[in-house]
């Protein structure tokens, strides 16, 4: 079976240290990569003022985390240097359609999953997907602005559509 695990990016600091959001997603990726030992892995996230000011793309740090946990380097496909969720899918669309996985496992945070589903179903509707949402290790207080942002983003996409 041709499975592909896609880990959506999250912030890292100016030294490349992954945020708790990124680490939560990567631990889920590690668990799934261990369960599906032949699945390839693709990480997303480039550089951007609001999430990564380093000289390397976020996906580099995500891959390094998983490699240090024991996932072989050969399992990783080229990362996607996206700067937002729409780009995660629009920049990987042609590759995903060509790769044509039997199942695309998309990993993101629980607070982000509704928007991810809207975008993925619009941009890559023909690919069979499984959404693996991850509970956040952030406090409710830390999650509150993120949940509000997601609520507004979902509303905007429903009102204005997804342009890519």
Q: How far apart are CA 130 and CA 65, in angstroms?
A: 23
Return the pLDDT at 102. Answer: 96
Determine the Cα–Cα distance for residues 3 and 84; give it in Å rounded to an integer: 24
Query: What is the domain extent for residue 72?
Result: 3-160
State both tokens at 3.
Answer: 């499975």
Q: Label residue 49 by pLDDT band (50, 70, 90).
A: confident
Asked whether the beta carbons of 81 and 55 are under 8 A apart, the reply is no
Residue 50: pLDDT band (50, 70, 90) is confident
pLDDT reported for residue 85: 96
Number of domains in the chain: 1
State the CATH number of the domain containing residue 85: 3.40.50.620
Nearest alpha-carbon partner for 128 in 104, 164, 160: 104
Residue 13 has pLDDT above 80, yes or no: yes
Residues paired with 109 in a beta bridge: 134
Whole-prediction pTM value?
Answer: 0.95
Q: Do 20 and 137 contact (CB within 8 A), yes or no?
A: yes
Q: Convert the pLDDT of each residue in 110-159 to its tens digit.
A: 999 999 999 999 999 999 999 999 999 999 999 999 999 999 999 999 99
* Cα distance between residue 39 and residue 158, in whole Å: 33
Q: Dihedral sign, CA of 111, 113, 115, 116?
A: positive
Reading the block at residue 57, the tokens are 């793309």
Looking at the predicted structure, is the pLDDT value of residue 1 above 80? no
pLDDT, tens digit, for every residue of 67-103?
999 999 999 999 999 999 999 999 999 999 999 999 9
């Amino acid at each position: 079976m041709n499975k592909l695990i896609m880990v959506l990016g999250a912030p890292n600091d100016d030294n490349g240290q992954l945020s708790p959001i990124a680490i939560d997603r990567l631990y889920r990726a590690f668990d799934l990569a261990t369960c599906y030992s032949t699945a390839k892995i693709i990480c997303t996230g480039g550089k951007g003022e609001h999430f990564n000011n380093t000289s390397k793309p976020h996906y580099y740090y995500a891959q390094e985390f998983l490699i240090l946990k024991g996932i072989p380097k050969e399992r990783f496909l080229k990362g996607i240097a996206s700067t937002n969720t729409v780009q995660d899918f629009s920049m990987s669309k042609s590759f995903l359609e060509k790769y044509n996985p039997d199942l695309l496992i998309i990993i993101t945070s629980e607070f982000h999953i509704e928007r991810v589903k809207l975008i993925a179903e619009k941009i890559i509707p023909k690919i069979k997907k499984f959404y693996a949402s991850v509970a956040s290790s952030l406090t409710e207080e830390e999650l509150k602005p993120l949940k509000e942002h997601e609520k507004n983003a979902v509303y905007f996409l429903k009102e204005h559509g997804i342009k890519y």
